[in-house]
Amino acid sequence: MPVVLIEKESPQISVVTLNRPERRNALTLGLMTELCAAIKVASEQPEQRVLILRGAGAAFCTGLDLKEAADSTNAHATAEMVANTLVAISQTRLVTIAAVHGAAVAGGAGIMSACDFVVAAERTKIGYPEVRRGLVAGLVMTFLRRQVGERNMRELLFSGDLIDAARAREIGLVNRVVAPDDLMNEAQRFAASVLQGAPGALAQTKRLVEELWWRSVKEDVDVALKYHMQARESDEAREGITAFNEKRKPRIGKKINPSKARPIPKPTPLPKLLAKSMQRIIQTMKFTNGMSIKRIHHHGRPTILHQM
């Protein structure tokens, strides 16, 4: 079954669903590659203007799949793909809306915050617990620092505590908090509001918002990737990831000498993987333009997606 579903809700709106409910939509290399491909496919259709991103099952996204991350040979590939995914979401010309429920944690919170607008269901848990696993929330910090004050950012990153949707709205991380059953309705209402604007003016407005920052998202992500990789190669991260997979507390506490950090390996190019995913998604969109209807689980119960 595809790990990312894409459907046209209308000629101007696409809905993309993270579809690994059995793993709470944890991010794997395959899922992120397909997500990037789905965003690219939707962005290249001239009539498309809005992309709604949601998760199947009990949670929006719980971050990096630490079972896959435990394989050190995947370290740079997954890190690079997280970076590519966040950039793809933030840099698309489409207005992006995250419809978040259950949990948006670590990389999942990063994907959420890379979107232009966030609607969260009540009681959704959001946070950045990376330091508790010996990791650095460098890539997601690129977006967090643009959206909340520095005191709030330090609290989220240093403590690793999860906050609820109401608190996330207070500090500017979330735009709207609604009842779970109203989540997609609220996302669609905002999409309808966006469609009242002139396409060219909206595209230029989104571009200007980016250019008014003193450094681009891409530049920030490149810097953050270095810190992310240094942490991924550390003894702390190895212990933190192992402890998570073994369902125990990590034995972390020794002082680490930064000078002994391993050198960052050369990035692994992923264009072939992305091209294959794009080809599959294009075929899926053509097929579902007929009579196919996909069934997913949303909020823990089956939901029929709209016919394309």
Residues with catalytic roles: 130
Residues 6+ apart with CB under 8 A from 244: 66, 133, 250
Residue 245's identity, in one-letter code, is: N
**Helix/strand/coil for 238:** helix
Residue that has been written with the tokens 């010996």 in this structure: 134
**Residue 127, strand partner residues:** 105, 162
Strand segments (E) across the chain: 4-10, 13-18, 50-55, 95-100, 103-105, 117-121, 125-127, 162-164, 176-178, 295-298, 301-304
Contact between residue 191 and residue 50 where contact means Cβ atoms under 8 Å apart: yes
